[in-house]
Structure 1
Amino acid sequence: MDTSISVYNENDSEHSRCIIHMDVDCFYAQVEMLRKPMLRNVPLGIQQKNIVVTSNYEARKYGVQKCMLVSDALKVCPNLTLVNGEDLHDYRTASSKIFTALLGWKCPVEKLGMDENFIDVTNLIQEKLKTMNETSVTLTGHIYNEPSIECPCGCHNRLRIASQIASEMRKKVYDELGFTTCTGIAHNKLLAKLICPLHKPNDQTTIFPEHATSFMLSLTSVRSIPSIGTKTTEALISQKIITVRDLQETPLEELKKHFSSDMAVRLKALSLGEDSTPVKQSGKPLSIGLEDSFKTVSVKSEVEDKFSALLQRLLVLVREDGRIPVSLRVTLRKKDAKRLSSHRESRQSQISPSIFSLTNGVLTVTDAGQQKLLAIAMRLFNKLIDLTKPFHLTLVGLAFTKFQERMTGRSSIVNYLMNDISVQSVLNLSNDCDTSATSMDYSAVSPSSSTTTDHSDGEVEPSPKKPKKVNWIAKRRCLAKEEVASPSKLKVGELRLNSKELEKVSELRLNSRDRSLTPRASPARENMSDASDSMKDVVEDGACNVCPSYVDKEVFSALPDDMQQELKAMWKNPSSSAGVTRSSPRNVNKPKSNSIRKYFVPHK
């Protein structure tokens, strides 16, 4: 399936987008009902610890609500069937299948949790309009208030087409995967999400732009607006801004007194149903992790058992993901009597990708590899907890936080290794131009390298090389007039003097004329004095009769003739060779048309 994503270039119209928000009805419960059809017609609750995290609509008829205590749920619905939903494996698998199905429309799809997705169908609608002859399109599903007049920008027709596409998406998800869904259709993400549950379950609703402000007034608390969290709500309530109407009627300048300018503008826009946030195509998660909460654990051996159980489940998720982890993070929630609350702390370590291997196309970890990962987790635990003192934990978490793709294309690890082979073949040429690889100065970051809290277990992959640079240097060596070993980049760098260095040398020469013999204060001053004196005292040598004392004669003799002549001319008359004067700072970094510096910089 071709899942390439088209990107829409917005025009000036604020109604230009068409966004669909899809929400799977009672997602966890539907997954269980699809696995066990006998659960479809009975009150069903999904239990995590002592909480009913969600329930099907049969149970909701009895009054079972989301995040209700199990004891309270059984009181209102004694015949409630409970299924343990702490293992999220089946839910993640179902979520991935729905996401993949939506990619078939070749539109940007952004995941929001496991059961919600935003889809930007703007481009798809533009393409459909090119082939449609109808001036008016029939809307599918419900509508929030009929428009009195057509919007001149044509957004009404575009949203009607979007409602038809939303219906097609819902049908495909149901026919192929068995899930019922509801969708909201609007010109921005905020309205699409808020309008979506209006006709739950298994239905859809469209809202036109002109009804945004009136629809927002139907919300009671400002907390009902997505992206307004608890702290912002408390700050608004402290200013007696409680309802959405209060927020709409509060002047922007008044909001700016209590919030940053950007935040005030954002809050005002949200209250009016305005949102310019784009739909961002989702990729694979940045981290894969699991957590286990409990009343309290105070023994190290119990913590190790918890980590071991989490690791077994985590490796299943990584195997399905297919990427190779290169970093492991441990999270702990400590119960502190002094703080009267729990707080989280985490630490991570780089891990070796060699722990993981591909067996018949499947990512696997040996028993020894699992023991090594568990040992890393416990080492991080020891760094977070002072075992000389009592500790009380209410949660432990384990997560892989950085990955590298296992691919076979140009950017694959295999390709990096092949590049290494090609580089070595260049460096190991058996001729007079050969130089050992150690003399090369390449710095490249490994794909798995990262900054972590703890590098105690970090093992670096072979760094990708730069074949083009190697080939150019190899050509330079073999084109030398004398077939001798070329100097390393480091030593050539010592020979090369830039204009600022020459300016210093010239200054030292002038100062040295009037300088009397005095005790040397430091090694640095001694070196500078030697450098200035060497410009006057020429060392007689067969290879170079004008070389300063700090120049390696063997290295100098390895240079091509034209480079030797240029360096000699520079040393004989530094000021004229540099082509600069102290009174013209603008020309300091400007190289001479045929300078030694130009020789070392490859032509682009």
Structure 2
Amino acid sequence: CVVHVDIDCFFVQAELLDKPELKGKAVAVYQHEDILSVSYEARELGIRRHDVTSEVREKLPEVVLQSVPVEEGTTKVSYEKYLRLSQHVFSIVKQHVPKAIIEKSGMDEAFIDLSDYISFVEGALPAANANVDQLIFGGSDDVIFSTEEEQIIRMGNICQILRDDIKLKTGLIVSMGLGSNKLVTKIASSRFKPDCQTVVLPRFHKRLMQDVPLQRIPQYKTKCAPIRELLEQQLKLATAKDVLDHIQEINNEAGAQAGLVDWLHQVCIGNDLSPVKVTPPPKSLSVSMTLTPIDSTNLQQLQRIVEYLTSNLATRLAFDEQEFERKVTSLCIRFRFVDHKEMKSANIPTANLSQQCGNESFVMKLLEMLISSGKPHLPWKLRWCGLFCTKFVKTPKNVISQFFGSSAHATSQQQPNYPSRSPVKKTPIPTPIKKQSQKKGIGSAQPSMLNFFNKQADK
């Protein structure tokens, strides 16, 4: 039982939290002339991702173009606000289903395997179609559901609680796809956006996939690269249904690529055996800058560069420590001088690096290492500098203090204390969600999942 979580037009929603007066208007968020996210109002005007901002301004001046934030005093973009929101969303998910397998595939989407959870709460959740706030793709009132299908539909009750809680605590609207594998849930979550959850039962996999463009099938472009010319140019195929209608012809022409044809055939009927895997932590963390050459005598400018890099690294380390429960034990500073092809570096063993990065004495230590690395008594110019962390150790958990700490309900209501280099505007609390009429047993104000399970256990 798999769920695909997709935060609708994530970057736009994040900007609207800070500028609610733009709600309902055509808005697009861009970076370096490239549009990253488009509101549904802007999509109705024909704006799409990766459109060029200058062309949009010329053709549709009424569209509000909002830039990704830029670091003060630089031209470098900052994703800190978006990263903060993303981690808040998925911390809420983890609070409700702490033992579920979560595979993040970006800041705004993830797959969740709820198979073990469904088995754990068998009989505790309301009946299969008690949750009326979801769409069962291909279903109807006279459909008799199998046991597997009942389990998938029951996931809808968990997903509704998650979506309501995410909206209440962050102000973000989330769409979800529910099904038996990653492929169909990803397709389903985008089928009826925004603010919707869609269930796809195994018997309707093929029907869901038939009008999906080949270009939108995950991994199609990379896996099928050797046969794309055959499919798109020679046979003029455009959708999954086209592939199924010409599968024999494809097999005859593909020759040695029979394995790729078999994979394509399976995904076109909605079969996907790839498991949901826990997202592994990155093997390294780094920040770097390519510079307009800075003279060795310009100590003030050199210090500003080091301060900027350490400040950015400190923020990233704090986020990393919060999410992956580990600490960095060593730091490497690397740099290049003008007229020198080789890269110089120096390792700095240290403890509590995320705290030291903001320390003035630590900044001066790095600056001293940088200056002393140049040729003695000879002028030099710095053209690139970076800080790299590659060694990590797990942080110990204080199990007893966690056990006797705040209650599960209080924990589920508390926003994680994420790091910040500058004051962040408080997320406005949205007005209560007006739910559709619901059957007995599903109230408009849902409890946290932990409290829900505790009540069922008491019964």
TM class, shorter-chain normalised?
0.5 to 0.7
- Following superposition of structure 1 onto structure 2, how do residues 401-550 of structure 1 map, counting pairs within 5 Å? 401-407=390-396
User: Where do residues 313-324 of structure 1 align in structure 2 (5 Å cutoff)?
Assistant: 313-322=312-321, 323-324=327-328
Cα distance change, pair 330–246 in 1 and its aligned pair in 2 (3 A):
farther
Match of 1:279 in 2: 276
Instruction: Specify the alignment match of 2:448 in structure 1.
Output: none
- CA shift for structure 1 position 176: 1.4
Pick the aligned partner of 1:90 from 81, 84, 107.
81
Q: Which amino acid aligns with 1:164?
A: N
Letter of the 1:165 counterpart: I
Q: CA deviation at 1:186?
A: 0.9
Distance 1:136 1:90, change over 3 A: closer
* Aligned-pair CA distance for 1:117: 1.6
Cα offset, 1:299, TM superposition:
4.2
User: Which residue matches 1:352?
Assistant: 348
Post-superposition offset of 1:329: 8.4
Q: Does 1:198 align with 2:194?
A: no
Report if aligned partners of 1:290, 1:310 keep a CA contact under 8 Å in 2.
yes
Match of 2:228 in 1: 237
Q: Deviations over 1:282-326 (max 9, x none)?
A: 364444345779xxx774769978786444323222234332253
CA distance in 1, matches of 2:198, 2:293: 53
One-letter identity of the residue aligned with 1:324:
V
Instruction: Give 2:217's match in structure 1, choosing from 225, 228, 232.
Output: 225
2:102, 2:111 within 8 Å by CA — same for their partners in 1?
yes
Equivalence for 2:403: none
Larger-gyration structure (1/2)? 1
- In structure 1, the residue matched to 2:29 is 46
Q: Does the Cα contact within 8 Å between 1:47 and 1:53 map onto a contact in 2?
A: yes
1:66 match: secondary structure = coil
Distance in 2, matches of 1:381 and 1:194, equals: 55
**Matching residue of 1:312:** 311
- 1 CA distance for matches of 2:252 and 2:373? 48
Whether 1:250 aligns to 2:250 is no
In structure 2, C-alpha distance between the alignment counterparts of 1:118 and 1:94, rounded to whole Å: 18
SS in 2 for 1:52: strand
Aligned to 1:288: 285
Measure, in 2, the Cα distance between the counterparts of 1:91 and 1:98: 11
Deviation at 1:145, TM superposition (A): 1.0
Deviations 1:323-350 (A, max 9, x none): 2253558799xxxxxxxxxxxx998978
Deviation, 1:92, is 0.7
Confirm or deny that 1:59 pairs with 2:7: no
Over 3 Å counting, the alpha-carbon distance change for 1:404 and 1:381 in structure 2 is farther
CA distance 1:311–1:140, change in 2 (3 Å)? same
Change (3 A) 1:44 1:370: farther
- TM-score, scaled relative to structure 2: 0.66
Which residue type is aligned with residue 88 of structure 1?
A: Y
Secondary structure of the structure 2 residue equivalent to 1:68: coil
RMSD, aligned α-carbons:
4.2
2-side partners of 1:255 and 1:401: how far apart? 48
Structure 1 portions without partners, runs of 5+: 1-17, 333-344, 383-387, 411-604
Residues 64-73 or 166-175, more deviating: 64-73
Deviations 1:150-193 (A, max 9, x none): 464x1221121112221111101001111111111111011101
1:269 aligns with 2:266: yes
Count of equivalent residues? 362
Q: CA deviation at 1:23?
A: 0.6
8 A Cα contact 2:184 2:200, kept in partner: yes
Q: For the Cα contact (< 8 Å) 1:99–1:111, is it kept in 2?
A: no
Alignment partner, residue 359 of structure 2: 366
Are 2:115 and 1:126 aligned? no
Judging changes above 3 Å, is the alpha-carbon distance between structure 1 residues 232 and 246 closer, same or farther for their aligned structure 2 residues? farther
Which SS does the other structure have where 2:111 is aligned? strand
Query: Are 2:35 and 2:49, in contact at CA under 8 Å, matched by a contact in 1?
Result: yes
Q: What does residue 99 of structure 1 align with?
A: 90
Question: C-alpha deviations, 1:1-55, integer Å up to 9, x for none?
Answer: xxxxxxxxxxxxxxxxx11111111111211211232333443332212222113
Q: Distance in 2 between matches of 1:48 and 1:39?
A: 19
8 Å contact from structure 2 (residues 127, 154) kept in 1: no
Preserved CA contact (<8 Å) 2:12 2:39? yes
Q: What amino acid maps onto 2:316 in structure 1?
A: L
Which secondary structure does the structure 1 equivalent of 2:30 belong to?
A: strand
Considering Cα pairs closer than 8 Å and 6+ residues apart, tell me whether 1 or 2 has the greater RCO.
Answer: 2
